[in-house]
Amino acid sequence: MPNQTTSRITCDLTGKVAIVTGAGRGLGRAIAETLAAAAAKVACVDVNADGLAEVTGAIQSAGGTAEAFACDVTDSRRVGEVVNEVVKKWGGLHILVNNAGITRDSLIMRMKDDQWDSVIAINLRGTFLFTRAAARPMMKGRTGRIINIASVAGLMGNPGQTNYSASKAGVIGLTRTVARELAARNVTVNAIAPGFIATEMTDALGEDILTGVKKQIPLGRLGDPQDIADAVLFLASDAAGFITGQVLTVDGGLTG
């Protein structure tokens, strides 16, 4: 199919069904488009209806297969419905990318309860709910790839992001544990820890802060969403069949 992405690796996911959460923009959109370009059928999940319409429209216009599923990832009932609908529509589920996430930054002494609760709910609870729901059809089919988008903030911490860092550290712990639980059924579970990637989320930091960030990165630049999408594509492929319980850091050398 025509590829509106600029993926630098080649992978054939014909016959595979994928769910990507937070697919309406940024990293999620790049991941959804990349998986679709590799011929996977992609269920795009988000609370943003306009973003969902844009990404599914772009995928379909490029010749791919995608459908929008409006879903609050913290809603256990709706998460179960989405997984069931995807399996019923396309006959199975092979790839889950838990990407949905938010930030609500503040120093610990100023952080409000709702700032903590909302970030933990979406970033960690949402990952748990979709992983639990997807595990059943994957175990039944004796194959699956679960790929969780963590962050270097979950590895090294980041001032002003107690909630975000804690949520992403939790995602890493969840990843390593579930990998052990599902390995016997040929379901791999891995995490990707992006560094600073050029998205709307990092744009909000402002040019002065971003200039300082770039000075800390050995490669001297922010990452591109495609850098993360390509890492997802690799972990979703047959080439990664013996990799599970791992955290792949994609950060330009920031934590090296």
Neighbours of 209 (CB within 10 A): 12
CATH code linked to domain 17-248:
3.40.50.720
To the question of pTM greater than 0.85 for the whole model, the response is yes
The yes-or-no answer on residue 105 being catalytic is: no
What are 252's two structure tokens?
């330009």
What is the C-alpha to C-alpha distance for residues 85 and 74, in angstroms, rounded to an integer? 17
Digit-by-digit pLDDT tens for the chain (256 residues) are 334 556 888 999 999 999 999 999 999 999 999 999 999 999 999 999 999 999 999 999 999 999 999 999 999 999 999 999 999 999 999 999 999 999 999 999 999 999 999 999 999 999 999 999 999 999 999 999 999 999 999 999 999 999 999 999 999 999 999 999 999 999 999 999 999 999 877 776 778 888 888 999 999 999 999 999 999 999 999 999 999 999 999 999 999 8
Q: Which of 164, 191, 194, 237 is catalytic?
A: 164
> What's the sign of the alpha-carbon dihedral 65, 69, 75, 76?
negative
Q: How far apart are CA 176 and CA 222, in angstroms?
A: 27
Contact 44, 32 (CB under 8 A): yes
How do the domains of the chain map onto residue ranges? 17-248
Range list of H helices, 142-185: 153-156, 162-182
Closest to 149 (Cα-Cα) out of 182, 132, 174 = 174
